Each structure stands twice: as structure tokens, then as C-alpha cells.
Amino acid sequence: MKYARFIAGGRSLSGHLHGGQLIDAAGVAHDPNGVQFRLPVDPPKVIALALNYNDHAGELGLTQPSEPALFWKPNTTLLPHRGTVIYPRGAEFMHYEVELGVIMGRDARRVKAKDAMDYVGGYTIGNDLVVRDYVTNTFRPPLRGKGWDTFGPLGPYYVTADEIADPHDLALTAHVNGELRQQGSTRDMIFSIPELIEHISRFMTLQKDDVILTGTPKGISHVHPGDVMRLEVEGLGVLENGIQEEDEGAEPIKGKEAREGEWDGR
């Protein structure tokens, strides 16, 4: 089942998708194009994964990590379907990342990989936006590059786990202004969902409704104010967000200076 939370007629509602319509708890049908989507879930936390596709690591000139490379995606980044992403003033290279989002169905602690899928409640689409200017050895984990407000669109639906036969065989695509920019498959993930849940739950409790963003394939490119990003994961729907330039009163970021001062970790 595909569930959504939305605002219609001034009321906050939830419902499921049936026959192309959102059916609320009272049985009233709503056109998805005429509602304001909310986040599909309110996650206690969002944990994201870097470099989980070899081709993406390659396009960045990096090597495959020996264990999952994790970072936080602050809850202040979260944005629903059709919400507006804010482009930071002074950013030199900002890009999208289409990702499969795994939603935990119940708390998990020290879960073995063989049992991990029993803890998955469902899936959604994530866009792990980033100002690449700040993703350097100096800023690891990359909170400064990936933690901007509005840099974590999720949605539009919470798709229950039973709807997806194999989450490790889903096509991912990203279009910008109608142009195909990114294409891949979850078949190519380095660390599988069970491996991720086992690894993370070994040292922290994964709570119900937590979201794990599982990484992105090759195909990143610069986006600009005025662009519209349309991200799709097979079976999960389409997540669409436009981009707007930050208010003129905001202080520009200093990406160039950050790179010139890059620390190599030694």
C-alpha cells in the first residue's frame, strides 16, 4: 500500500493511494495534484550513506569504503514532495542524489542481517542534496555540505514493505527540467539493506520511523535556482522539488576558500 500525509481543504489528512486518488480515513477521494503533501513520516533520525555505489565513488575519484560510510541528515533538512529547495548564496556546485529510503517498522538493536528485513516497515524516495564545495577532508562527516535546511526531500509516499518484491532490484532515475541526468539500480549497492541494518544497529538503536538513505549511483550534475528535480525509484512514485535562490540578505558561503584550505587528513 502507498500511504501519504497531506493537507486538503485546510485540514491535515492521511490516506492511501487507490485508482490514482488519495483516499482519506473517511473514504473521501482527493486528487494528488490538488493537495499539499506533507512528509510521509516524521523520522526520529535520518542516517545517510556515502559511496554505496562503485560508479558514484568513481566519478568522485574515490575508492569503495571497507565499511558503510555513514553521516547524519539533520531533520531540519527534511522537505516534502513539491516543497521548495533553497539554493545557498555563493554555492559553486550543488547537486541532487536520488536514493532509496528505508523506513524502519520497529525498533532494532543488535539485529543480525538474516533477520533485518523483518524490521523494515517500508520505503520512500530521498533526495540527498549537497553543496559539493564543502565535501572535503576538512568537513567529514559532510554535515556542512549536506545539512542545509531543505536539503533532504522525502516522499511522496510511505510504500509498505510488502509492496516491493525486491528492494535490491529497483531502477532509480533523476531528471532535471525534463532531462535525464542520473540512472542506476539498487542492484549495484555495495552494502545491502540487511548489512546496513546489522552494522548500524550494532552500535545504536534504530527506532521506528527512522529513515536510512542508502546512497546514490553515478550521474550527479550541477543544479541552479529555477530548476525542477524529478526523482523516481521504481514502484515508489515520483519525488519532485523546485529550487529557489536564497534570500539576498543571507551571507554567501565561501566554497572556494574552503577548498583552497582543504586538509588531507594527515
Domain CATH number, residue 164: 3.90.850.10
Q: Residue 211: inside a domain, yes or no?
A: yes
User: Does residue 196 sit in the same domain as residue 230?
Assistant: yes
Structural domain boundaries enclosing 196: 39-260
- 3-class secondary structure, 257: helix
197-220 mean pLDDT: 97
Q: Is residue 176 within 8 Å of residue 195, measured between CB atoms? A: no
Residues 204-225, mean pLDDT to the nearest whole number: 96
Together in a domain, 89 and 181: yes
Residue 48 and residue 2 share a domain: no
Look at residue 266 and tell me if it is in a domain.
no
The answer on 22 and 120 residing in a single domain is no
Q: Which residue has the higher pLDDT, 128 or 262?
A: 128
User: In terms of DSSP bridges, do strands 152-160 and 2-8 run parallel, antiparallel, or are they unpaired?
Assistant: antiparallel
pLDDT in the model for residue 195:
98
First to last CA, the chain: 50
Q: What are phi and psi of 70, to 5 degrees?
A: -105, 155
Q: Which helix (H) or strand (E) holds 212?
A: strand 211-213
**Amino acid 140: pLDDT:** 62
Pair (81, 58) in one structural domain: yes
Co-location of 87 and 197 in the same domain: yes
Q: Give the H/E segment covering residue 46.
A: strand 46-50
Let me know whether 109 and 82 are in one domain. yes
- In this predicted structure, the answer to whether residue 262 has a pLDDT above a threshold of 50 is no
- Residues 65, 33 share a domain: no
Number of domains in the chain: 2
Same domain, residue pair 21 and 85: no
pLDDT by residue (tens digit) across 135-191?
766 556 778 889 999 999 999 999 999 999 999 999 999 999 999 999 999 999 999
Is the domain of 23 the same as that of 118? Answer: no
